[in-house]
Amino acid sequence: MSDFVHQRHKPPTSLERPRELVLVCAPLRSNINLSRIVRTASCCGVSRLITCGPSKIDPKIARVAADDFSIEKHRSLPPVLKALRDEGYQLVGLEQTTNSQSLHGFSFVHKTAIVIGNERLGLTEDALALLDHVVEIPVYGLPFSYNVSTATTMALYEYCRQFPIG
């Protein structure tokens, strides 16, 4: 008899306090990437997701309905970042920049907005200028860049690891 017996559909982990984690996406090229990000963010208990620009979420990929999960749509990123800053969120971008820190060693604060850039262009200069921190993820092999939803997954995982029960 194996020590390990399937227990699929275990109850989810309960948070002792609500997450104060907002995920903010610059206008993305791919609705597939955005839809994948929505699913992962919802699974991670992200409380608010903000998308910018025209975008359509594919419910077959996202597997979460608009009623289940708050998704806000805005035209452009910088005004969103200014508003979140005024609400007291620490703004953490995911990008390769000067003065960026490795995600491996970065300590998140509880009230954080993680800011994701476009697949090709990354975060624009006016968005970067509004951030408190930039984190990047070490890459070791070809093609030397993570897909945007993969990188977002790693950042969300790291936040959840640091705040496993909220």
Q: Which residues within the stretch 53-82 sit at the binding site for a copy of itself (CB under 8 A)?
A: 63-64, 68-69
- 164 alpha carbon, distance to own chain's centre: 16
Under the binding rule (CB under 8 A), the answer on residue 143 touching a copy of itself is: yes
Under the binding rule (CB under 8 A), the answer on residue 106 touching a copy of itself is: no
- Residue from the set 73, 75, 82, 104 that interacts with a copy of itself by CB under 8 A: 104
Tokens (6 digits) for 116: 């994701």
Pairing between β-strand 21-25 and β-strand 133-136 as defined by DSSP bridges: unpaired
Q: Provide the edge-to-edge strand list for the sheet that holds 21-25.
A: 71-74, 48-52, 21-25, 112-116, 90-94, 133-136, 101-102
What residue has token string 């996406």? 25
Tokens (6 digits) for 26: 């610059």
How far apart (Å, rounded) are the C-alpha atoms in residues 161 and 166?
Answer: 10
**Binding region for a copy of itself (CB under 8 A) out of 22-30, 49-57, 71-79, 131-139:** 131-139
Q: Nearer Cβ to a copy of itself, position 54 or 157?
A: 157
- Residue from the set 42, 51, 112, 118 that interacts with a copy of itself by CB under 8 A: 42
Number of residues that bind a copy of itself (CB under 8 A): 61
Contact 127, 94 (CB under 8 A): no
Interface residues with a copy of itself (CB under 8 A)? Answer: 2-10, 12-13, 15, 19, 36, 39-40, 42-46, 63-64, 68-69, 93, 95-100, 102, 104, 122, 125, 128-129, 131, 134, 136-147, 149-150, 153-154, 157-158, 160-161, 164
